[in-house]
């Protein structure tokens, strides 16, 4: 097995039946390799249209989770990102899927390595007269089957990765929208900061209040009007000025 699967390069010994066994997932999970297997095209790959349909079926059946919208990711004040339930559930599910994929891949890998090793050994035996050529064909068929399983599986996993990448790109759309709003707010706050940082800030703000004031008993209404051009930090100053009249 490969080092990815925890092996040291040694080829596992398997019986003919073991090399053809289907993968058995852990309780409550499912295998990602479809049954029956799709046919391969002349290039030895699964058609993209079939992969898309298969990924859609995994998504619609809830096997592949959809990332939660950013608006649902608000953590409680002082809470850590891990305490965010929608995001925590999503990441936990994706972590489980990654572990399932690795386990299933390593199962097919061990079958493939063992099948190819047995096939090559049968060729060597036939070449020196220890067996007949008829004994080679069954070994070849098993190796072909193992190759098809691991080939289809790796393409399915690649399609799952692309699906997850596409889904998380939706977050970027939301983030860009928020960034645009933040940019607008930053420009407005900078203008307000210029007003507040001027040495004549108190007088200027007083003039702004007068321009919006008709009668003194309408001060609260005037403050609400000013809120559209002043941030919350300026409100306190306006209240102080209005009470000092």
In this structure, are 71 and 172 located in the same domain? Answer: yes
In this structure, are 78 and 110 located in the same domain? Answer: yes
Q: How confident is the model at residue 227 (pLDDT cuts 50, 70, 90)?
A: very low
- State the total domains in the chain: 2
In angstroms, the CA 76 to CA 19 distance is 51
User: Given a cut of 80, is residue 80 above it in pLDDT?
Assistant: no
Choose the final residue of a domain: 186, 216, 235.
186
Q: How many CB atoms lie within 10 A of CB 134?
A: 8
What average pLDDT score do residues 19-25 get? 92
Q: Which domain holds residue 207?
A: 198-243
What is each CA distance from 185 to 90, 135, 204, 229, 238, in whole angstroms?
A: 32, 77, 22, 11, 20
Domain-located, residue 191? no
User: Given a cut of 90, is residue 47 above it in pLDDT?
Assistant: yes
Closest CA to 5 of 93, 82, 110: 110
In this structure, are 209 and 181 located in the same domain? Answer: no
129's tokens: 């007269």
In this structure, are 163 and 235 located in the same domain? Answer: no
In this structure, are 173 and 202 located in the same domain? Answer: no
Domain-located, residue 77? yes
Q: Residue 68's pLDDT is what? A: 76
In this structure, are 174 and 209 located in the same domain? Answer: no
In this structure, are 146 and 175 located in the same domain? Answer: yes
In this structure, are 51 and 107 located in the same domain? Answer: yes
Tell which wins on pLDDT, 165 or 225: 165
Domain-located, residue 112? yes
Q: What is the maximal distance between C-alpha atoms in the chain?
A: 113
What average pLDDT score do residues 198-225 get? 53
**Residue 101 near residue 29 (C-beta atoms within 8 A):** no
User: Given a cut of 60, is residue 88 above it in pLDDT?
Assistant: yes
In this structure, are 229 and 119 located in the same domain? Answer: no
Q: How many CB atoms lie within 10 A of CB 95?
A: 10
Q: What are the tens digits of pLDDT across the range 176-200?
A: 665 676 667 666 666 666 666 666 6
What average pLDDT score do residues 110-128 get? 86
In angstroms, the CA 151 to CA 129 distance is 33
In this structure, are 49 and 89 located in the same domain? Answer: yes
């Amino acid at each position: 097995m490969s080092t990815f699967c925890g092996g040291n390069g040694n080829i596992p010994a398997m019986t003919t039946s073991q090399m053809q066994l289907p993968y058995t997932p852990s309780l409550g999970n499912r295998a990602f390799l479809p049954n029956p297997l799709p046919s391969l095209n002349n290039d030895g790959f699964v058609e993209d249209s079939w992969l898309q349909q298969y990924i859609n079926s995994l998504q619609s059946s809830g096997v592949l989770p959809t990332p939660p919208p950013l608006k649902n990711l608000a953590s409680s004040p002082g809470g850590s990102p891990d305490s965010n339930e929608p995001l925590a559930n999503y990441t936990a599910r994706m972590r489980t899927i990654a572990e399932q994929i690795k386990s299933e891949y390593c199962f097919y890998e061990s079958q493939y390595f063992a099948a190819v090793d047995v096939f090559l050994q049968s060729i060597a035996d036939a070449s020196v007269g220890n067996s007949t050529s008829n004994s080679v064909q069954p070994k070849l068929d098993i190796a072909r089957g193992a190759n098809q399983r691991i080939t289809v599986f790796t393409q399915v996993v690649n399609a799952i990765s692309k699906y997850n990448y596409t889904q998380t790109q939706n977050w970027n759309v939301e983030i860009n929208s928020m960034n645009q709003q933040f940019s607008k707010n930053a420009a407005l706050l900078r203008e307000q900061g210029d007003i507040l940082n001027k040495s004549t800030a108190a007088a200027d703000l007083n003039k702004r209040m007068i321009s919006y004031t008709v009668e003194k008993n309408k001060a609260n209404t005037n403050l609400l009007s000013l809120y559209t051009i002043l941030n919350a930090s300026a409100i306190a100053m306006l209240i102080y000025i209005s009470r000092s009249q």
